[in-house]
């Protein structure tokens, strides 16, 4: 399996991937999975994620990503709901094929406010370049197992359901997989779920905002070809 990190601005690097095909270089993808900057003033090493034209920038990179998908490839974007809501509207307006929205819930005590409820989830919007796509749903226990009809289904051997909500803890400083490079990190369980759901072994996965390399590392561990792009090289995180 190929595993490749490309340092640079993804808006410049994606067209190069499309036009150039050195030996062993992947040029199209079954899944593009990313957790882009959220435009909240988070200061990554050498980069501040605040952008005056954040909405325009998001639609620009999202369209470039869709261009790099195979005919039935999936684009999955993790973000705060207010950001994904705008991007969803823009992509729908441009005619792209929306599949569904998933919810990633997590327990948290951070961000409590005197005049707002505490946010404990992010959304994942799923778009497909075509109409058919890989879907290997992760089964979950029934949410209402004491309901009479659900009890009958369980006793009858029906498989658990697959819901649109997933609860995974945040990757905290004490997490065994935490990489100490000063940037946020997705939990392994979330990445594994998305990679397994929308790809098969041998497929190609890209994260155009790879950060500490979680998506790239896990995709490669799961026997997928993996490419990551980032404007920085976080030497403490990218495994060779």
We report the CATH number of the domain holding residue 17 as: 3.40.50.150
Choice among 98-107, 142-151, 224-233 with the minimum mean pLDDT? 142-151
Its domain, for residue 7, covers: 3-139+165-230
Q: Is residue 146 part of a domain?
A: no
pLDDT at 62: 97
Over the chain, what is the mean pLDDT?
Answer: 85
Query: How many structural domains compose the chain?
Result: 1
Average confidence (pLDDT) over 84-96: 97
pLDDT at 15: 76
How far is 213 from 98, CA to CA, in rounded Å?
27
Residue 35 has pLDDT above 90, yes or no: yes
pLDDT at 174: 44
pLDDT at 173: 47
Q: Is residue 13 part of a domain?
A: yes
Q: How confident is the model at residue 109 (pLDDT cuts 50, 70, 90)?
A: confident
User: What is the tens place of the pLDDT at every residue in 159-212?
Assistant: 677 889 999 998 654 455 555 544 568 999 999 999 999 999 999 999 999 988
Question: Tokens for 72?
Answer: 């039935």
Count of C-beta atoms within a 10 Å radius of residue 219: 29
Q: Is residue 151 part of a domain?
A: no
- What single DSSP character describes residue 195? H
The region, left, alpha or beta by phi > 0 then psi within -120 to 50, assigned to residue 79 is beta
Our CA angle for 143, 147, 151, nearest 5°, is: 90
Q: Is residue 240 part of a domain?
A: no
Average confidence (pLDDT) over 69-82: 96
Q: Is residue 152 part of a domain?
A: no
pLDDT at 26: 63
Contacts of 98 (CB under 8 A, 6+ apart): 88, 91, 92, 125, 126, 127
Q: How confident is the model at residue 40 (pLDDT cuts 50, 70, 90)?
A: confident
How far is 116 from 234, CA to CA, in rounded Å?
35
More confident residue, 144 or 80: 80
Q: Is residue 235 part of a domain?
A: no
pLDDT at 149: 76
Distances from the Cα of 227 to the Cα of 24, 98, 129, 230, 236, angstroms: 11, 24, 19, 10, 17
Q: How confident is the model at residue 239 (pLDDT cuts 50, 70, 90)?
A: very low
**C-alpha closest to that of 228 among 36, 20, 21, 23:** 36
pLDDT at 163: 87
pLDDT at 75: 98
How far is 79 from 64, CA to CA, in rounded Å?
18
For strand 204-207 and strand 225-230, is the pairing parallel, antiparallel, or unpaired?
Answer: parallel
The region, left, alpha or beta by phi > 0 then psi within -120 to 50, assigned to residue 237 is alpha
């Amino acid at each position: 399996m190929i595993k490749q990190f490309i340092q640079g601005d993804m808006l410049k690097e994606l067209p190069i991937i499309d036009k150039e095909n050195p030996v062993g270089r992947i040029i199209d993808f079954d899944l593009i999975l990313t957790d882009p900057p959220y435009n909240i003033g988070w200061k990554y090493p050498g980069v501040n994620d605040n952008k005056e034209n954040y909405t325009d920038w998001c639609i620009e990179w999202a369209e470039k990503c869709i261009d790099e998908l195979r005919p039935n490839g999936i684009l999955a974007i993790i973000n705060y709901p207010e950001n994904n809501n705008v991007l969803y509207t823009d992509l729908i307006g441009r005619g792209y094929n929306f599949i569904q929205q998933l919810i990633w819930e997590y327990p948290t005590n951070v961000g409590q406010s005197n005049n707002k409820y505490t946010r404990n989830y992010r959304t994942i919007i799923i778009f497909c370049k075509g109409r058919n796509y890989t879907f290997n749903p992760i089964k979950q226990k029934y949410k209402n197992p004491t309901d009479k009809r659900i009890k009958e289904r369980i006793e009858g051997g029906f498989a658990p359901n697959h819901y649109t909500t997933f609860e995974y803890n945040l990757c905290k400083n004490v997490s065994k997989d935490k990489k100490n490079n000063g940037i946020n990190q997705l939990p392994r369980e979330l990445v594994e779920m998305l990679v397994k759901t929308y790809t098969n072994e041998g497929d190609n996965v890209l994260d155009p905002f790879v950060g500490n390399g979680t998506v790239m590392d896990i995709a490669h561990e799961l026997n997928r070809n993996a490419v990551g792009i980032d404007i920085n090289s976080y030497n403490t995180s990218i495994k060779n």
